Amino acid sequence: MKKEIEIKLDNNRYPLLVKDSNGVCLENTGIATVNNDFFIQKWSEEATELYSSLYGENNLFNKEKYEEMKPKLSATLWKIVARLEEINDGSFIVINKEQDLLKINNPIAYALEESNEDEYPEVIDGELVVWPKPETPTSNIFIGGIYSSLINMIEEAKLEYEVFSHVGLCCYDILEENPAENYFIPAISVVQKGFKECCERIASAPSFVVEVVKSRLQKEYALKKIPSYKKMGIDVWIIDFVNSRLSIFDYNNNYKEEYTEYEFNQPEECAGLIFTKAMIETRKSMI
């Protein structure tokens, strides 16, 4: 029987709860992958500290401070949820009792802050979505290999493109959104030289981007980005570590190709595939 991990904030108590058969909350989740995860413990402590700081004298809840701290609390809970989804081996399910807290006003303002050291904050259809910055060794090595290989291939072909890793894409600027509702951080962006910048972020439509999926939750939100990528005329490659798939969406929002049972152990080969397909599409668009 799967254990249920309940996420709920309370004063002076960890946000992760596991209940026994009698409904009694346990101090320890009893799940090694959760208990031993450095980031789960770190962010749980941060969430506890942030929430506890909202209680002043006589244990009174400070509503004004809550509104001020809500974006940071929301981001911290997002990281916990996303990390749990990443490390879930199927032995537990996550029940988030703080869904309302994940919704904040003006999420773009938070996403553009310079203090986001251990997170990738995105805004997708007006919703703040925060992914943990620490990458798994497998994905880190593979994406790093694709990134460096694409740079080499572009340089060898003497093409006027630049490659960026985890640099913000100001979709709201490209799409002229008002209010701003979309800000993405693709794993890799390939953009033509001379592109427009905004606060050291990309404000011109890349030729193509690479998105990385490490959980079902991340896949759900990656697919939510596709319509916006379509509007910007951007091809999207999705590297799906969960289902071992490499998928391509063209800027018409259609699946172009899908490589199933893809073994993510040859980044140079994958980069070559992406590069070749991208150059074919670039030539077609110029005809």
* Tens-place pLDDT, residues 180-228: 999 999 999 999 999 999 888 999 999 999 999 999 999 999 999 999 9
Which of 97, 132, 167 marks a domain boundary?
132
Is 281 found in the same domain as 155?
yes
Owning domain of residue 121? 3-132
pLDDT score at 287: 36
Report CA 30 to chain centroid distance, whole Å: 27
Is 245 found in the same domain as 127?
no
Is 126 found in the same domain as 78?
yes
Token duo for residue 95: 């029940």
pLDDT score at 236: 94
If one counts every other C-beta atom within 10 angstroms of the C-beta of residue 112, the result is 17
Please report which helix (H) or strand (E) contains residue 6, including its range.
Answer: strand 3-7
Long-range contacts of 29-36 (CB under 8 A, 24+ apart): 29/3, 29/5, 29/92, 30/3, 31/3, 31/5, 31/91, 31/92, 33/87, 33/88, 33/89, 33/91, 34/5, 34/84, 34/87, 34/92
| pLDDT class of 129 with cuts at 50, 70, 90 | very high
pLDDT score at 12: 65
Which of 115, 132, 149 marks a domain boundary?
132
pLDDT score at 116: 72
CA distance 49 to 43: 10
Higher-pLDDT residue of 259, 172: 172
pLDDT score at 15: 80
Higher-pLDDT residue of 155, 21: 155
Q: How many residues does the chain have?
A: 287
Is 161 found in the same domain as 81?
no
pLDDT score at 25: 58
CA distance 105 to 80: 21
CA distance 30 to 24: 14
Report the CATH number at residue 259: 3.90.1570.10
Query: Residue 59 has what DSSP assignment?
Result: G
CA distance 287 to 266: 33
Token duo for residue 235: 């091809």
Is 122 found in the same domain as 30?
yes
Is 164 found in the same domain as 250?
yes
Q: What is the pTM of this model?
A: 0.90
Is 197 found in the same domain as 82?
no
| pLDDT class of 138 with cuts at 50, 70, 90 | confident
Is 62 found in the same domain as 16?
yes
Radius of gyration of the chain (CA): 21
**Taking the chain, what is the end-to-end CA distance rounded to the nearest angstrom?**
58
Is 107 found in the same domain as 219?
no
If one counts every other C-beta atom within 10 angstroms of the C-beta of residue 193, the result is 8
Is 163 found in the same domain as 96?
no
- Across the chain, mean pLDDT equals 87
The phi, psi pair for 170, rounded to 5°, reads -80, 75
Is 156 found in the same domain as 53?
no
**Residue 174 near residue 205, CB atoms below 8 Å:** yes
pLDDT score at 20: 55
Whether 284 has a pLDDT exceeding 60, the answer reads: no
CA distance 125 to 171: 11
Query: For the chain, how many structural domains are there in total?
Result: 2
Share of the chain above pLDDT 70, in %: 89
Amino acid at position 277, single letter: K
CA distance 40 to 7: 12
Which of 90, 115, 132 marks a domain boundary?
132
Is 149 found in the same domain as 125?
no
